[in-house]
Amino acid sequence: MLNTAVVIDLLEHLLERRSDIQDINAYMKRELVNILAIMALISGCGSKPAPEISSETTKTEFSSGKIAADSAEEHDITDNAKAFENSEVFDTSDIAASTSSTEIDSSSENTVTLCMVGDILLHTPIEELSMEEDGTYDFSPIFSNMKEDISSFDLAVVNEEVIIGGKELGISGYPTFNAPYEIGDALVDAGFDIVCHATNHVLDKGKQGLINACTFWEENYPDITVLGINETPEDKENIYIIEKNGIKIALLNYTYGTNGISQPSDMPFAVDLLEENKVIADLDYAEEHADFTIVFPHWGTEYRLTPDSSQEKWTKLFEEHGADLVIGTHPHVIEPIEFLDDKMLVYYSLGNFVNWTSGTGEGVTNRMVGGMAEVTITKDENEIAQVSDYGVKALVCHVSNEKGGVTVFPLNEYPDNLADTNAIRAQDSSFSKDKCVNLCNEVWGNLWD
Contact 394, 436 (CB under 8 A): yes
What secondary structure letter does DSSP report for 167? G
Report the C-alpha gap between 435 and 433 in whole angstroms: 5
Q: Which residues, in sequence order, are bridge partners of residue 337?
A: 347
- For residue 391, give the nearest of 350, 448, 345 by alpha carbon: 448
Whether omega for the bond prior to residue 415 falls within 30 degrees of 0, making it cis, is no
User: What are the CA-CA distances from residue 207 to residues 182, 216, 378 (Å)?
Assistant: 20, 14, 40
User: What are the CA-CA distances from residue 427 to residues 177, 368, 399 (Å)?
Assistant: 22, 12, 12
Contact 284, 239 (CB under 8 A): no
- Average pLDDT for consecutive 10-residue bins of the chain (449 residues)? 42 41 39 41 34 31 37 34 33 30 50 98 97 97 98 98 98 98 98 98 98 98 98 96 98 98 97 98 98 98 98 98 98 98 96 98 97 98 97 98 96 96 98 98 97
Q: Which residues, in sequence order, are bridge partners of residue 390?
A: 375
206 in the Ramachandran plot: left (φ > 0), alpha (ψ -120 to 50) or beta?
A: left
Tell me: the pLDDT tens digits for 36-89? 443 443 333 333 233 232 333 333 333 333 434 333 333 333 333 333 333 333
pLDDT of residue 195: 98
Alpha helices in 130-250 (DSSP H): 140-143, 147-151, 182-190, 206-220, 233-237
pLDDT of residue 422: 98
Tell me: the pLDDT tens digits for 106-144? 347 899 999 999 999 999 999 999 999 999 999 999 999
How far from the centroid of its chain's Cα atoms is residue 234's Cα? 24
Amino acid making up residue 432: S
Helix or strand (DSSP H, E) at 31 = helix 24-42
Contact 428, 362 (CB under 8 A): yes
Contact 332, 351 (CB under 8 A): yes
Report the C-alpha gap between 117 and 418 in whole angstroms: 22
Number of continuous H segments (helices) and E segments (strands) in the chain: 15, 16
Helix or strand (DSSP H, E) at 239 = strand 239-244
Contact 114, 377 (CB under 8 A): yes
Report the C-alpha gap between 386 and 111 in whole angstroms: 10
pLDDT of residue 108: 76
Say which CATH topology domain 111-444 has.
Purple Acid Phosphatase; chain A, domain 2 (3.60.21)
pLDDT of residue 61: 36
Q: Which residues contact 270 (CB under 8 A, 6 or more apart)?
A: 203, 207, 210, 229, 230, 231, 263, 264
Per-domain residue ranges of the chain: 4-52+91-100, 111-444
Report the C-alpha gap between 98 and 342 in whole angstroms: 41
pTM over 0.85: no
Contact 347, 327 (CB under 8 A): yes
Q: Helix 182-190 to helix 206-220 angle, to the nearest 10 degrees?
A: 40
Report the C-alpha gap between 430 and 76 in whole angstroms: 59
DSSP string for residues in 90-139: ---HHHHHHHGGGGS-TTTTTEEEEEEEEEE---HHHHHHTB-TTS-B--
DSSP string for residues in 262-331: PPPTT-TTSB-B--HHHHHHHHHHHHHH-SEEEEEEE-S-TT-SS--HHHHHHHHHHHHTT--EEE-B-S
